[in-house]
Structure 1
Amino acid sequence: MNFFHHLFDRFLRSRHVTRHFARRLMLDTLTLGRAATPATMPDPLTRDLLRAATDDVPTLLDRLGSDKNGLTDTQAAAALALHGPNEVEHEKPLPGWLHLWHCYKNPFNVLLTVLALISYLTDDREATVVILAMVVLSTLLRFVQEGRSNRAAERLKSLVSNTATVLRRPSAQGDAYVPTPATVPAPAPAPTPGGGHAMTLKAAAAGQRELPISQLVPGDHVVLSAGDMIPSDCRVLTAKDLFVSQSAMTGESLPVEKFAESSAPGASVLDARNLLFMGTNVVSGSATALVVATGNHTYFGTLATRVTAIDRAPTAFQAGVNSVSWLLIRFALVMVPIVLVVNGFTKGDWLEAFLFALSVAVGLTPEMLPMIVTSTLAKGAVLLSRKKVVVKRLDAIQNFGAMDVLCTDKTGTLTQDKIFLERHTDVFGHESDEVLTFAYLNSHYQSGLKNLLDHAVLEHVELQADLRLAQDYRKVDEIPFDFVRRRMSVIVSERDDHHELICKGAVEEMLDICTRVRVVEDAGAQDLPLDEALRARVLEVTRGLNNEGLRVVAVAMKETPPHQSVYGVADESGLTLIGYVAFLDPPKESTAPALKALAAHGVTVKVLTGDNELVTLKVCREVGLAVQGVLLGKDVDAMDDAALAQAAESHNVFAKLSPLNKERLVRALRAGGHVVGFMGDGINDAPALRAADIGISVDSAVDIAKEAADIILLEKSLMVLEEGVMEGRKTFSNMLKYIRMTASSNFGNVFSVLVASAFLPFLPMLPLHLLVQNLLYDVSQIAIPFDNVDEEVIRNPLKWNPGDIGRFMVFFGPISSVFDITTFVVMWYVFGADNVGAQTLFQSGWFVVGLLTQTLIVHMIRTPKLPFVESIASVPLLTATALIMAVGIFIPMGPLAGHFKLQALPWSYFPWVLGILAGYVVLTTVMKRFYIRRYGWQ
C-alpha cells in the first residue's frame, strides 16, 4: 500500500492545468461512470473509455495514432505536446499571505477594523489599541493553528519518483521505423478473433524503456507485472493471470480479473474487464496495455480536477457564524443611531454623543467572538490530536459537533479490510474440518502467487502441525490456476499407495469436472453420484452463502495411482466434490459499539459503498445496523434531484455507487437541512469528501482523499470518530455560551443606556468607562474554551440557530436592565447622585454593578442547571471571573480611580450591590426555567 500512496503523492504534487480546462473537465464528470442508455448519453470521458473498451485493437491503435510495436520517439514527443504531461491537478497549499487573509476575513473582523479606524480618527487611542489587539490576536491564532494542522497533514504524505516500463522505438527520417540492434521487436502476429492483441510478452520486452510516468502519452504500450501501479487509463492488450485491485476506485475489497477481449456494449466503465484505471494496482499476473488517456483526461484525473476546481459552498459552521454575525451587526446598526440621536437631543453635545455612540457600538460588538471562536477551536484541535485526529481546517471541529448524518464507506471502516475464512462446510452447508484440511493442503503446496483467499486459509497455522506436513505429505505436481478454468490443483502423496489430487475453484467450473459428491450423514460419509437433484441442491446451498455476502470456493479431490508423476488439465476430471470454503471481509470489533454510541448521540449512519449489496447487507447485519432500505447506483442514476432527496432520507444503505453517485447523495442530504459528514479513503470518495460539511479521511488514504478531507484520523475506527464528535460538541457548546452571554448582556446594556440617556442630565457612563468595562468582561471570557460542558447539553447534535440566539438575547437582556434601572434609582435617590456635579459618583456606581452583573451572567447562563450547585464551571473560568469582578471593584475604589474618571463609592453602597446581585440571580434562574420549558436548551 505504501507504493500506492507514493504514486498518488507524485501525481498530486504535479502542476496545475488551466482553469478553463478544469471547468470543462468538471462538467464532463456530471454523468461519470454511467453506462450508455438512450435516455442518458455518457459524457465525453466515459464515452471515450467505453469506446476504447469495445473497439477491436487495430481500430483503437489507428485512432490513437499508435502501432502494434508502440510509438516512436517523435510520435511520443508530438503527443506529449498535444496532451500535456501525465500529471493530475491537485490543490496546492495557499500562499502565506492568502492564508492570512482567509483567517482575517469575516464580518466581525471587518467591522472591528472599521471601528478601530474611526476611533483612531477621533483621537481615541485606547479604543484603537484594544480593538486592533482583538483582531490581530484572533487572526494570528487561527493562522498559526491552521498552519500547524496543515503541516501535520502534509507530513502524512511521502514523495517518491515513479517510472513505468514503456515500449518506445527510436525515430528515423520521416518518422519511418528503422530497427536498431537494441530495439528489434519480434514480429507481431495478427490480432486474435476476440479483439485481444497477440503480441507476446517476450516480443514486447525487446523495446522496453523505463520512463517517468509523466512522459506517458496516449498510444504508448506499457508492460505491467505484479506490484505495479497502473500509470494511466489503459486498454489491456495481453494478459496472463491478471488480477487488479480497484478497491480505492470502487470500494470492492477483492481484486478483479482483467482480460484482453473486447467488452460487450452496454457495460459501465468501472465494470469493463479490459480497462485499467490510473491509481489502481496489479496484484498478480502480467500484462501489456495500451495507454488511452493520461493526466486530467483519466478517470482519476477527472475526479481530482472536480475536487480542486469546485468552490466549496459555505459549511454549516461558516453559514452559522455568518448568520449570527449579521444578526448582531444589524442589531448594532439599529441601536447605535438611536443612542446617538437620544443623547444628542437630550444633552445638546453632538460630538460627545457621537463618541458615546461609538463606544456603545464597540460595546455591542462582541469583538472577542473571533478570538473566542478561534481559541476554542484551537483547543479542540489540540485535544483531538491526542485522540489520533489531525484537524486540517479548524471550522471542521464545530461541524463534528453539529453533524447529524454520517455517511461512511464499508471497506476498512465498518470492516477490517482483510479477507478472512468465514466458513468451511460440506456440500450441504454443515461445518466440515475435512474441507478445511484439503483447502489448506491446496493453498500450502501451490507454488504460484498466493492470493488473498489462500492467505486467509493459511492463517490456520495450527493445521500445519496437526497434518505433520513435513513428515506425512510430499508434493508431486501442480496444475496452475488460469482464468479459463478458474481453478487450480495440487497433487500430494500421503502414503505410497496413492496420490491425492486436490482442486479448488469457482463453483460452476468445479461442478463441470465432478462426478460424485461426498455426503456426510450420521452413519458416516459416502460418495454419491452427482445427478441433477444433487447439483440443484449444491447450487442452492452456494447461492445461500452468496446471499449472505460470502465469496464461495468449491473444494474437490480424487485419488490417483502412485506411479504417475506429471499431471495436466486432463487429469482434472472425475473428481468428488467435498464442500466449500467461504470468505468475508469481517467487521471490526469496535464498529458495533461505535454505531450504538453514535446513534445514542443523535447521529444517523448511512453506508455508501461501491461494493455489491449482498456483502454490504451482510456486514450491516453483523454490526447491528438496521437496514431501512437499499438503493443501488443504477437507481441513483435514474433519479432526479427531488426523488433522490427523498430516497436519501428514507434509505440508509447505498451500494454499487460511482464516485458521482456518492457526491449527489451527500449534496441531497445537505440540501435537506442535515449537517453531513463523509468518511472515506479512496479515489472514489474524494468528490463526496469535498461536498460534505465535514470530510473525514485516514492517514493511510490515497492523497486525493486526504487532500479533500477536513479531518484525518490516524486510526481508521468509528470509535475514534465518535470521540471526535463529542469533542466537537463541547467546542461548539462553549462557543454558543460566549455568543449568548455577550448578546444578551450587550442588549441589556444598550437598553439601560437608552433609558438612562432619556432621563439623566448627563451621560450614564463615559465612553472610556464603556470600553474598560467591555475589555474587562471580554478578558473574563478568555477562559470559556476551557469550561466544563454538561453531558445533557451535548447528547444530541448542536446547530447554529440565529433565531434562537436572537430570542435568547431579547429574553435575558432586559433582566439586567431591570437591575441597572434599580441601580439608577438607588444612586439618584439614596446616594444623591441627582445632578451634573455628582455624575462621577453615579457613573462609578453603575460601572461596578454593570461589570458584576455582566460577569455573573457567565455562570448563570453557561448551563441549564442551577449554577454553583448542580453544575460548576471549570477552575480557569471561575478564577477568571472572580479576578475580573475584583478588578472591577478595585478600579473605582483604588488609587487608579482618577485615571479612569471614577471615584470611590461609599461602603454603604455595597450592601445594596449584594442585594441587587441576589435579586439578579433569583430572577435570572426563574426566567431560565421558564425559557427551558418553552424553548428548550442546546
Structure 2
Amino acid sequence: MNLNLLKETFVSFIRARGMDRHFRRLGMDMFRSAPVTKEVPQTLAEQLSDASRSHVQDLLQRLHSRPDGLTESEADAIRAHSGPNEVEHEKPLTWYVHLWHCYKNPFNLLLTLLAAVSFYTEDMKAAIVIGTMVVVSTLLRFVQEARSNTAADKLKAMVSNTATVMRHDQVEEIAAEAQRYFDVTLHPKGARRVEVPIRQLVPGDIVLLSAGDMIPADLRLLAAKDLFVSQAAMTGESLPVEKFVTPSNLNTSSPLELDNLCFMGTNVVSGSATGVVLTTGKRTYFGALAERVTATDRTPTAFQAGVNKVSWLLIRFMLVMTPVVFFINGFTKGDWVEAFLFGLSVAVGLTPEMLPMIVTSTLAKGAVALSRKKVIVKRLDAIQNFGAMDVLCTDKTGTLTQDKIFLERHTDIHGEPDDEVLQYAYLNSYYQTGLKNLLDVAVLEHAELQREMSIASAYRKVDEIPFDFQRRRMSVVVSEREDHHELICKGAVEEIVSVCSRARVNGEVVPMTPALLEEIRATTGSLNAEGLRVVGVAAKDLPPTKEVYSLADESDLVLIGYIAFLDPPKESTAPALAALRAHGVKVKILTGDNELVTAKICREVGLEVKGMLLGSYVEKMSDAELSEAVETVTVFAKLSPAHKERIVRVLHDRGHVVGFMGDGINDAPALRAADIGISVDTAVDIAKEAADLILLEKSLMVLEEGVLEGRKTFANMLKYIKMTASSNFGNVFSVLIASAFLPFLPMLPLHLLVQNLLYDVSQISIPFDNVDKEFLEKPQRWDAGDIGRFMVFFGPISSIFDITTFALMWFIFGASSPEHQTLFQSGWFIEGLLSQTLIVHMIRTRRIPFFQSRASWPLMGMTLIIMAIGIAIPMTPLAHYFKLEALPLSYFPWLVGILVAYAVLIQGMKGWYAKRYGWQ
C-alpha cells in the first residue's frame, strides 16, 4: 500500500450520499388523523424490548459499536448490509408501475373500451385514433410526471436533514495502516461530532439529540437530561412523554411504553440526549407500520377536492348526455351499432382526457418557477393553495425583522449598564447544550466579550436544566471552586421574576418587594417600548452536594439584571406587506415575543395593528369567542405552540385558506394545522418536515412572489377545465340537436374522435400561457358550481353557430341527403374544430383576445398548427382516409363570417356574465 492509496481510502471514508427524502412526511400524513393501532411484527417488538433491557456494554458489543461512535469505514460496511435509512414504502415507483398509474384513470379506461369495441366491429380507423388518444394522454402524463418528480427530488435535495453523530476519527485507521506498512506512528484525534444525512445512519451509530430534532431511527438512550419526546404521530398522545436512561416499566408488551427507547418519526420537544441506533429504515417500528398503514385516511386538500368535484361534474353530464344521444340516433337512424359507437364517441367528447397531464405540467412548471425565486416545493398540490391563501400567519423574528439579533444592552435591574450581567449571560449561553437560538449566538458573539473568552475556562459545567416553551427559561449549573456551585438562569422576564425572591440592587441582595417589582416592570417596559427584546438574568449560590439538578432547583433566585437585544426590521418588509395587502392577503403576527416590542416593529414596517391579543387571554377564550376575535385582531403575542395551532385552526374553520410561516420547534403544530406550511432551510428538523414549502430566503417578498406564481398556476388549470368543459358540452349539445332532425349522423364517431384529439393537443401548452393581471389581484379557489354554470352558459352559444353551419350546408351547399352526408360532415368538422380552437383564446381572458390580452407564443403557435391540420384533413388526399371530402372554396368566406360572429357574441356575453357572476 502507498500513500496515494491511503489518501484514496481516507477520502472514501468521508464521501456523502444524499438524504432521507420521504419518511417523515409519510409519517405525518399517515398518522395525522388518528393514533396508530396496528401491531408490528412480534419479532421486532421482542428485539426492541430486549435492547431496552440489555446492559449498555453488551448492547454496544452486539451492534459492533462503542461509546465514542463508529468510524466511517465501519458505518459504510454496516450500511452495505443494512441498506439506507429510509422507509421502503416511500421508494420511487418503477417506471412500469408509474406508467400503469398514469394510464389507469376513468377517462383512459373509457377510451380503451371504445377502442376495443371499434376493433371488434372492424372499425380499425376509429380504433387507431382512439388508441392514439390513449397513448398520447398516458405518455404525456408519464413524461411530465417523471420530469416533475426528478425536478422535485433535485429541489428537495437542496434542503438537507441531518443527524448529529459521534464518529471515531478515521485517523486511527490510517495510523494503523501507516504503522503497519511504513513503521510511522500517527496520533489519532479520537471521537468527534459530525452532521450526516439521515439516510446514511446505520445501526450502532451514536446519535446526539436536542430540542427540535426529529428522532432519525429507533434508538436506545445512553444518556438523557430532561428529555421530553412528542410521540403523537405514533400513539396519539397529545402531551410529550419524558424519557429516561433506565426504564421504569420493563414488564410492558408494547415497546412504545419503554422509557429508554425513542422511535423514528417522533421528535424532541425539550432536553438533550445521547442514544445508539438499534434499527433503521423499514426495520424500525415506524417502517413496519408504514408497510401496514396507507395514507388513504388523509383528508383531501382544497386542490384535490376541487379537481374531484370538477371531474364528477363532467361525469354526471356524460352519464346524462350519452344515453340520450344513443337512443335518439338509434330510433331515428335505425342502426343501433352505429348509434352505440356514436354515443361512446360523445362520451369521449365530454371527457377532458388531458386533465391529469395538464394538472401535472402546470404544477411542475410552477414548482420550477418558484425554485428560481428561492422557494422549494415539497408537495406539488401546495402550489395551488399558495395562490388561494388569503391569510398569512407569521412570526415576527426573521420575517418582519432581519433575523440578525444584536446584543444592544446589558443592564442591572434599574437599567444601568452592568458588565457582570453580561458575564453571567455569557456563561449560561456558553455551557448550555440544548436549543441554541439567535439570542445565545448574539451573546457569544458580543464584541465586548472577545477579550473575556477566558472567562469560561475558569469554570466547569456541573449540569443544566434545558429550555422548554412552558417555562420559557433555562439554567446551567457551573463551578469555579470546589466549595460551591452556581446556578445561572436566563429567560423571559416574567418567568424569571416568578422564581426570584430577591434582587441585587447597587451590589447588595435585597428582598423582592411590590415596589421593586413595579420598578422592574417599568424598566423592562421602557426597554420594550424602544423595540428591544428583554431577557432576564438570575442566579444563586448552592452547596456542592449534588451533580444532578432539576426544575425544583429553579427557585429562590436572585435577579441580577437584563440583557436587551435589537432585531431591526428588514428594508424589504414594508413593500412586501403592501404587496401582499394589494393581492388580498391579510398578514397576522403570531409570536411568543413581548407585545410592546411587536407593536413597535409593526409600526416601523407599516403593518396596521387593528387589535392585539395576548396568549393568556387566548387561553381563557372559548372557540366561539376566538373565532370572532381572529377576524379583527392583527397581532397575537406571548403565545405558546398550542395557542398558535389553535388560532390557525380557528381561521381555517372560518373558511380561510391559511398559510403559516415558522422555523422553530414551537411552530411545528401550527405548520401542520395550516393549509400551507412554510418554513426555511435553516429551520429545525421538525419545522422543515411539517412544512409544504421551504424558503431559501426568509423574506415576505419571496412569499408575495410565490403567491403570484400559485395564482398563475391555478389560472392556467382553470382555463383548461373551463374551455374544455364548455366547448365539449356545446359540441355534444349540437350533436343532440342535429341527431334529432338529420336523416344521417351529423358526424361519424371517427370525426368526433379526431376532432377531440386535435383539440386536446392544441391545449398542451396551456401551462405556459400568460395570465391577466386582474386574475392575480385576489385569492382564487376551486368552485365546481361556477364551472358548471360556465359550461351550461357558454357551451350552447357555440351550438348557435353549429346550427348556422348545419343550415349553411343543408340549404346553400345542398348537403341534405344521405348521399351528400360526407360534404355535410366535412363542413361541420372544420367549423367545429376551428370554433373549438378559437374558444381557447376567447375563454382564456376576460379582455378582448389578441388585442388586450395575447396568449403566450407556445399556445398561439400550437393553436395555429392545429387549425391548419384541421383544414388540411378534408382538403388533401387524407380526406378519403377519414371519410371526408374537399369543400368548395366558397365555403370559407361563410366560415370566416360565422367565426367572427361567434367571437363577437362570446365577447359580449363574457361582459354580461362577468358583471352578474364574476370572472374567476
Shorter-normalised TM-score: what interval? Answer: 0.5 to 0.7
Name 2:525's counterpart in structure 1: 544
Structure 2 residue ranges without an equivalent (≥5):
1-15, 39-50, 64-84, 169-200, 234-242, 246-261, 466-473, 481-487, 540-558
Deviation at 1:833, TM superposition (A): 1.4
Residue 318 of structure 2 is matched in structure 1 by 332
Residue matched to 2:613: 630
Q: Are the aligned partners of 1:399 and 1:693 in contact in 2 as well (CA < 8 Å)?
A: yes
Structure 1 residue 803, shift from structure 2 partner: 0.9
Query: Displacement of 1:876 after TM fit?
Result: 1.6
Q: Distance in 2 between matches of 1:681 and 1:821?
A: 61
Determine whether 1:156 maps to 2:159: yes
Q: Which residue of 2 aligns with 1:870?
A: 852
CA contact (8 A) 1:677 1:695 kept: yes
TM-score (norm 2): 0.68
Aligned residue in 2 for 1:390: 376
1:710 paired residue number: 692
Contact 1:446 1:478 in 2 (8 A): no
Equivalent residues in 2 for 1:130-145, closer than 5 Å? 130-145=132-147
User: How has the CA–CA distance of structure 1 residues 537 and 360 changed in structure 2, closer, same or farther, with 3 Å as cutoff?
Assistant: closer
2:239 match = none
1:743 counterpart residue number: 725
Pick one of 572, 577, 591 that aligns with 1:595: 577
Specify every segment of 5 or more residues in structure 1 that has no aligned partner in the other structure, as ranges. Answer: 1-5, 29-63, 79-86, 166-211, 250-257, 261-275, 492-502, 518-526, 557-576
Superposed displacement of residue 226, structure 1: 13
Which digits, 9 at most, give the CA deviation of each residue in 1:322-381, with x for residues without a partner?
101111111111111111111111111111111111211111212122222222222222
- Does structure 1 conserve the Cα–Cα contact (< 8 Å) formed by 2:875 and 2:887? yes
Distance 2:31 2:369 in 1: 42
For residues 164-243 of structure 1, the aligned pairs below 5 Å read: none
The answer on whether the counterparts of 1:620 and 1:627 sit within 8 Å (CA) in structure 2 is no
Provide, for residues 216-235 of structure 1, a one-character-per-residue CA deviation record: whole Å limited to 9, x for no partner: 9xxxx999999999999999
**Cα displacement string for residues 733-767 of structure 1 (whole angstroms, at most 9, x for unaligned residues):** 11111111111111211121112111111111111
Could you tell me which residue of structure 2 aligns to residue 821 of structure 1?
A: 803
- Matched residue SS, 2:820: helix
Contact 2:659 2:676 in 1 (8 A): yes
How many residue pairs were aligned? Answer: 767
Matched, 1:859 2:841: yes
The one-letter code sitting in structure 2 at the alignment partner of 1:383 is: A
Q: C-alpha distance in 2, partners of 1:701/1:474?
A: 31
Structure 2 Cα separation of the partners of residues 540 and 115 of structure 1: 79
Question: Where does residue 353 of structure 1 map in the other structure?
Answer: 339
1:680 matched to 2:680: no
Residue 544 of structure 1: CA displacement?
0.8
Match of 2:364 in 1: 378
Equivalences for residues 450-849 of structure 1 within 5 A:
456=442, 461=447, 516=506, 535=516, 538-545=519-526, 548=529, 550-552=533-535, 581-608=563-590, 620=602, 622-623=604-605, 624=607, 626=609, 628-630=611-613, 632=615, 635=618, 639=622, 645-646=627-628, 648-649=630-631, 651=633, 653-654=635-636, 662-663=644-645, 665-849=647-831
Task: Give distance in 1, aligned partners of 2:537 and 2:32.
Answer: 49
Matches within 5 A, 1:68-83: 73=58
- AA aligned to 1:551 is V
Contact 1:385–1:391 (8 Å) recurs in 2: yes
The C-alpha deviation readout for 1:514-552, integer Å capped at 9, x for no partner, is 5549xxxxxxxxx9x999999567424323147557224
CA drift of 1:156 comes to 3.1
Which amino acid in the other structure matches residue 550 of structure 1?
R
Q: Structure 2 vs 1, CA of residues 108 and 707 (structure 1 numbering), >3 Å: closer, same or farther?
A: farther
CA distance in 2, matches of 1:288, 1:14: 21
Aligned mates of 1:476, 1:138 — CA distance in 2:
64
Opposite residue 810 of structure 1, the aligned amino acid is V
Deviations, residues 570-615 of structure 1 (Å, cap 9, x unaligned): xxxxxxx999641245554444433332222112334445667666
Asked if 1:317 is matched to 2:298, the reply is no
Q: Is the 8 A contact 1:398 1:731 kept in 2?
A: yes
**1-structure distance, mates of 2:897, 2:648:** 55
- 2:256 alignment counterpart: none
Residue 890 of structure 1: aligned partner? 872
Q: Tell me how far 1:873 sits from its aligned partner.
A: 1.4
Worse-matched range after superposition: 843-852 or 626-635: 626-635
The verdict on how the C-alpha distance between 1:139 and 1:766 changes in structure 2, with shifts beyond 3 A counting, is same
Aligned counterparts of 1:929 and 1:553: Cα–Cα separation in 2: 63
Q: Please give the alpha-carbon distance, in whole angstroms, between the structure 1 residues aligned to 2:721 and 2:25.
A: 43
Match of 1:400 in 2: 386
Distance 1:550 1:849 in 2: 71
1:89–1:308 CA contact under 8 A, matched in 2: no
User: Aligned to 1:677, what secondary structure does the other structure show?
Assistant: strand
Give, in angstroms, the shift of residue 935 of structure 1: 0.9
Does structure 2 conserve the Cα–Cα contact (< 8 Å) formed by 1:157 and 1:703?
A: no
What are the equivalent positions in structure 2 for 1:49-128 lying under 5 Å apart?
Answer: 73=58, 92-93=90-91, 95-96=93-94, 107-122=106-121, 123=123, 124-128=126-130
644-653 or 369-378, which deviates more = 644-653
Instruction: Answer whether contact 1:400 1:725 (CA < 8 A) is retained.
Output: yes
Q: Secondary structure at the match of 1:792?
A: helix
| CA shift for structure 1 position 387 | 1.5
Partner of 1:901: 883
Higher radius of gyration, 1 or 2: 1
CA change 1:830–1:686 in 2 (3 A) is: same
Distance in 2 (alpha carbons) for counterparts of 1:843 and 1:92: 52
Identity of aligned residues (%): 58
Rounded to whole Å, the distance in 1 between the matches of 2:560 and 2:693 is 50
Tell me how far 1:444 sits from its aligned partner: 9.5
Deviations 1:873-908 (A, max 9, x none): 112222222222222222222232222222221111
Q: For the residues of structure 1 that align with 2:767 and 2:881, how far apart are their CA atoms? A: 33
SS at match of 2:776: coil
Q: Residues 452-475 of structure 1: CA distance to partner in whole angstroms, max 9, x if unpaired? A: 6575367675x799xxx89xx999
CA contact (8 A) 1:346 1:758 kept: yes
CA shift in 2, pair 1:753/1:15, >3 Å:
closer
Q: Distance in 2 between matches of 1:348 and 1:312?
A: 50
Q: Verify the 8 A CA contact 1:113 1:135 in the aligned structure 2.
A: no
Residues of 1 paired with 2:318 and 2:333: CA distance? 22
- Decide whether aligned partners of structure 1 residues 870 and 19 sit closer, same or farther in structure 2, where only a CA change above 3 A counts: closer
What TM-score do you get using the length of structure 1 for normalisation? Answer: 0.66
Task: Compute the RMSD of aligned alpha carbons.
Answer: 6.0
Question: Which 10-residue stretch deviates more, 544-553 or 439-448?
Answer: 439-448
